[in-house]
Amino acid sequence: MSLRSTDEASWGFLEWALSALSTLFVSALAFAWRLLARVDRLEASVDQQRLDLDAAAATNESGASRLTDRLDQLLADHYRLRETIGSLPTRNDLRDVGDHINERIISLAARLDRALEIRGL
């Protein structure tokens, strides 16, 4: 009987060792499987974010182009307005014109007075 007990004891240890090794192997495979699945999801997420980033960059580039065009138009309008304002008469010019008109009215009134005196009215 002692022979059988040693055989059973060594077989029990061998079963335990095989179970431990197979559990370790299957656990490592499961870990690697989950890790590869996670890496695959991360890869898909990075690809999607790259596409979103490219789309946003294209949108921003077109917006910047429109903004540049609008700023150029605004600057052109600004300089055209400055030229227009520069060509308008100043206060002194308007005062001179007013004085000139006043002198003309006074001279016309004097001529009218003389014409009326000559006619005897």
102 is written with which tokens? Answer: 């006043």
The predicted model gives 13-17 an average pLDDT of 87
Residue 3 in this model has a pLDDT that exceeds 70: no
Q: What's the half-sphere exposure (Cβ side, CA atoms, 13 Å) at 109?
A: 6
Q: What is the pLDDT of residues 45-96, one digit of tens each?
A: 999 999 999 999 999 999 999 999 999 999 999 999 999 998 899 999 999 9
How sure is the predictor about 117, in pLDDT bands with cuts at 50, 70 and 90? Answer: confident
How sure is the predictor about 1, in pLDDT bands with cuts at 50, 70 and 90? Answer: very low
According to the model, what pLDDT value does residue 14 have? 85
Contact 5, 13 (CB under 8 A): no
According to the model, what pLDDT value does residue 121 have? 60
Share of the chain above pLDDT 90, in %: 74
SS (H, E, C) 49-90: HHHHHHHHHHHHHHHHHHHHHHHHHHHHHHHHHHHHHHHCCC
Residue 4 in this model has a pLDDT that exceeds 90: no
